[in-house]
Structure formats: C-alpha cells, structure tokens
C-alpha cells in the first residue's frame, strides 16, 4: 500500500507549473501523473489538494537556531525547526553564532545535540573562523563543506586570515561563506553618531561597507581559486558588485539575499524601530528596487532566511537605546509566504524563479540536490501545499515562540497549508505535528 497520495495539485518545477498527482512511499516520491488515484487506489493517507500549489519543501541555507551560549531558554533547535517546518521549510543548513564550530569535536557535539532536537533534516556550517590554522580537512570529514568567516565584528577575521582560509578550503573542495561589511567603514560611521535612536542604526552601517567588502572578497576568491558564497547581500548595488566576479572565468561567486532586504527599506525604521535592527542594515528604497531586479534577472542566486530568533522584550529595549538589542530578525516561518504574496502574486517572480531561489538552487548549493529541492520520482517526499487566501500577518498565528514578527499587519495572499516531510504530514496551517528527533543530519561531501 502506498503511504500517501496528493491529488489535484499544481506542481511547481523548473519549467513552470503543471497539474498532477503525487504518490509517495517510504518517504520518497514514487510517481507523478494525472490519474494516480486509479493506479494507487487505497493510500494510507489521501490529501485532496483541491488545486493548491505544491512546491518542494524550502531548503534554507542560512539561519541561526541553536547556541546555548547566546540564545535564552526556549530558543533552541527544537522550537526553531518547528517554526521552520510550520512555514514550509523542510531542510535547514544552520550556521554558528557565538559558540565557534572550529574543531571536529565541536562539530560532532553540535550535530549530536541537534539530531535529538530537530523536526527536519539539517546540515551544519563550520565557523566562525578567525584563525586559519584550524584543521579544515578533519572538520570536513565530519560532514560539512562550508566555512563561515566575517570581514566585520563581532567575529572579525583579518584579510590574511580569510585569504589563508580560502586557500585551504578551496584545495579541500569546500566553500567559504563571508559576511561582507568592511570594519573600518563601520567604525568610522559609528564614530560620527551620538544618538541612541533607532533611525541612526542604518547610518552606522553604510552601503559602501558592503560594496567594498564584496569587492575585496571577490578578489580573494579569484586569487585563491576558492569558491565563495556572499551571505545576505543587502542592496542591489551589492548584487551588482558581486556579479562582476560571477562573470570571471576562474571564480565561483554565489550571491544570497534575504526576505527582509526585499520587504523593508530604511524608511520603515521610523515605524518599526528596533524590530528592523539587522546586519547588514536595511538600505534605501532605490536599493530595494534594484535588489528585486537582481533577484529577477538571476544575479542573486538564492534567497535564505537568515533567521535569528529573539524574544519581543529583548527587542523593545531598542526603542530606548538601539545599540543594546541583538541584530537579526525571525524570518524562517514567513519567508515563503512573503515571497509568494509579495513576489509571485505581485508579478515580481514567476513560480519557476521562486522554485529556483528557495528550493533547487539552495539544495544545489548545499550539495543535496536533487534529493532535496525538487519534486520528481526518487526525491525525498518533502512537499509544501500553499493555499491562496487573503489574510493579515500576525505573530499570534505563527509557531515562532519569540512573540513578534517584523511583518505584523502586512496583507498577504498565500498561506502555508500543509507541509509534508518524508511523506508524512509534519505541519498543518502553522500547527506542527512532527516531533523533535524526526529530522536527520545530512552529511555534505566536498565538491569534486
């Protein structure tokens, strides 16, 4: 007997949308067709999708979810992967924050902890590297191929360290992910500011800091022959800067942006204040429009959430003093609904471009494509059904336990209805049905 049959759905793939049914057995898609109800007459679970769109489960390659040193009680890999799956994200690649993952033992410890806590399949990134003498190959043997480094505080690595790291990682078949903002520009800009008001935060992290660092890191990649992934590009100009290296022969530069850089400009800070504190900072409305174009034309390779969970009370402190709360936004649960509502439904993205940005390309980037990021025979049965409904966003309707969302009150038109993970219903209308420990660690092998 087949485990699950989804009938009457519109399946999104690389070439567009087509009507069909999906049959699942043993956690894997076994058939796609138009009359599967005849072929598989008595599945254990039958979901009549009633014309809802089916996307591969979103693969989010940039998020911060587990760090006992940093996050307060209640914010951990269980609560945050629950928020992920509620929003249609069925695979995550998590990045270190305050606790460094720069030894094989630290990597193994985190993997073992997260295996017990995770609702969904996950991979891990090593970092934050500020010393290039770490044992790259031994860490990669644990099942990662990505190393994170920063050109800015609080995990600043100097240029020579980043170059040395790239040189070693490139040789070993890995990739370096870089936070690109030049510390010297940030220091100077901060020194010019006396106020503690939320609005000034944007001025403390100028656009030029991002442009200079992307340019520098692009040349480092060229020089060391190491593929580099620029995380969270916050501006259209930043995307253009990175694109100069995408077109060169020797270098593989991939560019990532995040939903908040498309959803908000610095003009929104007057109203939302500390609830928009994020690094890199939000940029001008013109840069936001340029960034949408870079997302549309393929300059931006993929979109990741850069989910960073905090409680509402922690944020509120920022109205008094913007320098106090942590920077970063909870965004994993709302990413897909935002991109469909304000991207696809507003005519800014096609379904196939969305599929590329949050499913296929990130899975490829993580080294797990086509097992993840695609619906076809043989792939993991991780599938999101989207209901095209009008509603107003409210943190009360989310699984995220921080009590807030920067998108509060926005009017959206797509809602995650049913999320299937490994062939089983894992979430329904943002209510999570899966359990901690259901997810598995995914080893990611070096690039050949």
Contacts of 284 (CB under 8 A, 6+ apart): 207, 265, 266, 267
User: Could you say which residues in the range 108-167 bind Zn ion, by CB under 5 A?
Assistant: none
CB nearer to Zn ion: pick between 308 and 400: 308
Nearer to Zn ion, 283 or 353 (CB): 283
Nearest approach, Cβ of 307 to Zn ion (angstroms)?
A: 9
What are the tokens at 309?
């969970």
Whichever of 329 and 357 has its CB closer to Zn ion, that residue is: 329
Are 54 and 383 in contact by the 8 Å Cβ rule? The answer is yes
Q: Provide the minimum distance between the beta carbon of 178 and Zn ion in the complex, in angstroms, as a whole number.
A: 11
**Least distance (Å) between residue 133 CB and Zn ion:** 24
Closer residue to Zn ion (CB): 10 or 307 = 307
Contact of 91 with 408, CB cutoff 8 Å: no
User: What is the secondary structure of 58-87 as a DSSP string?
Assistant: EEEEEE----TTTSPTT-SHHHHHHHHHHT
Nearer to Zn ion, 301 or 306 (CB): 306
The nearer residue to Zn ion, 241 or 306, going by C-beta atoms, is 306
Contact 49/6 with Cβ under 8 angstroms?
yes
One symbol per residue from 223 to 242: x for binding Zn ion (CB under 5 A), - otherwise; what is it? --------------------
Q: What character string, x for contact with Zn ion (CB under 5 A) and - otherwise, covers 175-214?
A: ----------------------------------------
Query: Measured from the CB atom, is 172 or 180 closer to Zn ion?
Result: 180
Number of Cα atoms under 13 Å in the Cβ half of residue 145:
22
Residue ranges with strand state E in 332-402: 383-387, 391-392
Nearest approach in angstroms of CB 333 to Zn ion is 17
Q: Which is nearer to Zn ion, 67 or 306 (CB)?
A: 306
Chain centroid to Cα 155, Å, comes to 20
End-to-end CA distance of the chain: 39
What does the alpha-carbon distance between residue 229 and residue 306 come to, in Å, rounded to a whole number?
14
Number of neighbouring beta carbons within 10 Å of residue 297: 11
Closest CA to 207 of 331, 270, 330, 291: 291
Nearest approach, Cβ of residue 235 and Zn ion (Å): 17
Smallest distance from the beta carbon of 30 to Zn ion, in angstroms?
A: 37
State the minimum distance, in angstroms, from the CB of residue 306 to Zn ion.
Answer: 5
- Tell whether omega for the bond before 448 is within 30 degrees of 0, i.e. cis: no
Closer to Zn ion by Cβ: residue 306 or 382 = 306
Cβ 252 to Zn ion shortest distance, Å: 20
Count of positions (residues) in the chain: 448
Strands 53-56 and 58-63: unpaired
Residues 260-319 that bind Zn ion (CB under 5 A): 306
Rounded distance between C-alpha atoms, residue 111 and residue 109, angstroms: 5
Structure tokens at 139: 């860490």
Q: Which residue has the tokens 């990505």?
A: 146
Angle CA 155–368–248, to nearest 5 = 65
Q: Measured from the CB atom, is 40 or 264 closer to Zn ion? A: 264
How many residues contact Zn ion, by CB under 5 A? 1
Q: How far is the CB of 176 from Zn ion (least distance, A)?
A: 14
Choose between 181 and 306: whose C-beta lies nearer to Zn ion: 306
- DSSP class of residue 291 equals H
Site for Zn ion in 65-104 (CB under 5 A): none
C-beta separation of 426 from 432 below 8 A = yes
For 345-352, the CB contacts below 8 A with 24+ separation are 345/388, 345/413, 345/414, 348/292, 348/295, 348/296, 349/295, 349/296, 350/16, 351/12, 351/16, 351/17, 351/53, 352/12, 352/13, 352/14, 352/15, 352/16, 352/17
CB of 322 to Zn ion, least distance (A): 20
Minimum gap (Å) between residue 231 Cβ and Zn ion: 6
Q: Show the site string, 339-378: x = touches Zn ion by CB under 5 A, - = not.
A: ----------------------------------------
Shortest separation between residue 257's beta carbon and Zn ion, angstroms:
12
Q: Which is nearer to Zn ion, 49 or 178 (CB)?
A: 178
Nearest residue to Zn ion, using CB? 306
Cα 424 to its chain centre, rounded Å, is 23
Residue ranges in contact with Zn ion by CB under 5 A:
306
């Amino acid at each position: 007997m087949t485990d699950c049959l989804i009938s009457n759905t519109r399946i999104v793939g690389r070439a567009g949308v087509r009507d069909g049914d999906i049959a699942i057995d043993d956690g894997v898609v076994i058939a796609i067709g138009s009359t599967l109800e005849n072929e598989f007459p008595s599945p254990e679970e039958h979901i009549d999708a009633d014309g809802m769109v089916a996307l591969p489960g979103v693969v989010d390659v940039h998020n911060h979810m587990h760090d006992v040193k940093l996050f307060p009680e209640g914010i951990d890999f269980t609560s945050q992967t629950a928020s992920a799956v509620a929003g249609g994200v069925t695979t995550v690649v998590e990045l270190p924050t305050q606790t460094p993952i720069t030894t094989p033992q630290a990597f193994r410890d985190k993997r073992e902890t997260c295996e017990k806590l995770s609702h969904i399949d996950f991979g891990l990134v090593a970092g934050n590297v500020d010393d290039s003498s770490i044992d790259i190959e031994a860490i990669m043997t644990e099942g990662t191929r990505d190393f994170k480094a920063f050109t800015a505080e609080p995990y600043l690595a100097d240029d020579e360290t980043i170059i040395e790291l790239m040189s070693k990682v490139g040789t070993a078949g890995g990739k370096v992910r870089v936070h690109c903002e030049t510390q010297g520009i940030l220091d100077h800009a901060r020194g010019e500011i006396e106020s503690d008001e939320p609005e000034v935060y944007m001025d403390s992290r100028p656009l030029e800091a991002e442009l200079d660092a992307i340019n520098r890191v692009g040349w480092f990649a060229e020089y060391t022959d190491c593929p580099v992934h620029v995380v969270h590009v916050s501006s259209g100009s930043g995307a253009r800067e990175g694109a100069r290296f995408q077109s060169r022969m020797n270098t593989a530069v991939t560019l990532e942006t995040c939903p908040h850089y498309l959803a908000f400009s610095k003009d929104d800070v007057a109203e939302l204040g500390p609830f928009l504190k994020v690094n890199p900072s939000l940029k001008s409305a013109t840069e936001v429009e340029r960034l949408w174009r870079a997302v549309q034309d393929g300059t931006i390779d993929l979109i990741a959430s850069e989910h960073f969970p905090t409680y509402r009370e922690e944020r509120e402190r920022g109205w008094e003093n913007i320098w106090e709360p942590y920077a970063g936004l909870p965004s994993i649960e709302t990413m897909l609904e935002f991109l469909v509502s304000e991207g696809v439904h507003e005519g800014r993205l096609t379904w196939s471009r969305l599929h590329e940005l949050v499913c296929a390309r990130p899975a490829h980037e993580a080294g797990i494509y086509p097992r993840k990021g695609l619906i076809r025979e043989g792939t993991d049965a991780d599938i999101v059904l989207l209901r095209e409904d009008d509603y107003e966003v409210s943190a009360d309707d989310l699984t995220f336990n921080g009590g807030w969302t920067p998108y509060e009150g926005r009017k959206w038109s797509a809602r995650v209805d049913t999320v299937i993970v490994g062939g089983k219903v894992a979430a329904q209308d943002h209510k999570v049905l899966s359990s901690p420990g259901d997810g598995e660690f995914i080893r990611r092998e070096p690039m050949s």
